[in-house]
Chains A and B, each alone.
Chain A
């Protein structure tokens, strides 16, 4: 049996002093009368990786979905680069939101299309007109930008490979390149490595942290394992039953804090 030997802390350069880019204030959300998020507050900063931790059902995915606009919170505000998103409508809102990219557990590439075409699709939000309906009409500039994104995630040599033929770890890296091609400054990832084997999970998390620090992106990742957070995140937000139990530096995620985040639900009756 081969074991994967990992350092306690991956060798990331120290995060630059990045500015705050997104403020989320007092988010509440309930489904059918049951409160799922109860006053969630947090801030995302450029050049920093935030890990969301918490037991199943604690509200991690719902938090990201509210930020993405995939769920509508009952109350709370989301401010992106100084603009309260609730004041925007229509195309203005779409344009503002395209500054936030999402990476999914199930990756969601189009298997029949090549890695390069999938990456180019990240730019669709800023392409309009009939020529944007087919990869045939993608401009040389767009393809070169997508190639650079693929190179950034170490997948340039597979540009013309169909996405369906890539391994999970490779596909997730292409999905990260798609987010780069979207030119987003905030990257939200809901369990981006839960479907990957340990080595690929490690590589993808290291890539996300490296991008945050080197490209000055704000990365927020829901993680299912505290040790992934310990190795790659700068700060942690721990949720218990839709409330923030811990918010702060990664060094605060000690054994007793982990126990508090993952103890069986006390409030449930």
Chain B
């Protein structure tokens, strides 16, 4: 004889009908959006098939890559160095602006509510405008070349790094800062003696991450005339020199992998 297992009837889920209806509505909206999106972008699988021929001839042109030292490899290496310098300066020269705005835009360190809102707005603007748009503006202003790229990266990176730094300061332990406040330290002293040293490790990690991203961005900036290897790749495409382009891309890949490895190596060392 087994004793009966006790059971209890499950009460009805409140407003179950509503839930199902709203899930179905969400799915319907999702599908409709995609129908419009596919039409709007001339999305056609058949174009991929017919385009395969063009792709093949492109690859045939690109191989073997042109490794001529004088006309291809040396200029590619030189331009890649410029790309690296653009990424480096775009990162380091945005440190002062990013730092100032981060301190103003962090709830724990801002001197005033109005300053806080204003710096948040400035950071949002510089973050929202893509670096490539800044590059187009600066190419018109200061002319074609790497300097326009550096200026573009400074602007966009200030927005991104300032936001990341402000957030990391808001997340660090505010205790030491409060301790100094009770000792009579001024707001500026609280920032330089507690808030900043508390967040320094995070700051350096984020800086290296942004350097990594900025080197990659500076490659794209070259495509719109802002100097570096991107400019050479653009010229190769326009003159149908796909074999030269292949070489240039390989050189860039090596640079990007090196920078990525270096920055993650340093970040790992900093964590311990």
Task: Give A contacts to B, CB under 8 Å.
Answer: 68-70, 94-95, 97-98, 101-102, 104, 106, 108-113, 121-122, 124-128, 132-135, 175, 178-179, 182
Are B182 and A68 interface neighbours, CB within 8 A?
yes
Interface of B is mostly: helix
* 0 or 1 for each of B178-209: is its CB under 8 Å from A? (1 = yes): 11101111101100111001101100000000
Can you list 7 A-B contacts with CB-CB less than 8 angstroms, sorted by A residue number?
A98-B183, A108-B179, A110-B197, A111-B198, A124-B193, A178-B183, A179-B183
Among B175, B178, B200, the residue within 8 A (CB) of A112 is B200
Contact partners of B198 in chain A: CB under 8 A: 110-112
Contact partners of B185 in chain A: CB under 8 A: 121, 124-125
A-B contact count (CB 8 A): 68
Interface centre among A108, A109, A133, A179 (most CB of B within 10 A): A108
Q: Which residue of A has the minimal Cβ distance to B189?
A: A124
Q: Kindly state the separation between the CA atoms of A5 and B97 in the bound complex, as whole angstroms.
A: 59
Q: Which residue of A has the minimal Cβ distance to B178?
A: A108
B54 in contact (CB, < 8 A) = no
Would A104 and B189 be within 8 Å (CB), given that A94-B184, A121-B180 are in contact?
no
How near does chain A come to B115, taking the closest CB pair, in angstroms?
18
Q: Kindly state the separation between the CA atoms of A62 and B175 in the bound complex, as whole angstroms.
A: 17
Contact partners of B186 in chain A: CB under 8 A: 124, 128
Are A95 and B176 interface neighbours, CB within 8 A?
no
Interface centre among B182, B192, B200 (most CB of A within 10 A): B182
Q: Which residue of B has the minimal Cβ distance to A101?
A: B183
Given contacts A108-B178, A124-B180, A133-B193, 16 further A-B pairs with CB under 8 A are A68-B182, A69-B182, A97-B184, A98-B184, A102-B179, A102-B183, A110-B194, A113-B193, A113-B197, A121-B180, A121-B185, A124-B189, A126-B184, A133-B188, A133-B189, A182-B184
Would A95 and B189 be within 8 Å (CB), given that A104-B175, A108-B179, A110-B194 are in contact?
no
Contact partners of A110 in chain B: CB under 8 A: 176, 193-194, 197-198
How near does chain A come to B135, taking the closest CB pair, in angstroms?
36
Contact partners of A112 in chain B: CB under 8 A: 197-198, 200-201
Q: Kindly state the separation between the CA atoms of A237 and B251 in the bound complex, as whole angstroms.
A: 75
Interface centre among A94, A104, A122, A124 (most CB of B within 10 A): A124
How near does chain A come to B187, taking the closest CB pair, in angstroms?
11
How near does chain B come to A164, taking the closest CB pair, in angstroms?
11
Q: Kindly state the separation between the CA atoms of A102 and B175 in the bound complex, as whole angstroms.
A: 12
Q: Which residue of A has the minimal Cβ distance to B177?
A: A108
Q: Kindly state the separation between the CA atoms of A69 and B183 in the bound complex, as whole angstroms.
A: 12
Would A102 and B182 be within 8 Å (CB), given that A121-B193, A124-B193 are in contact?
yes
Q: Which residue of A has the minimal Cβ distance to B181?
A: A70
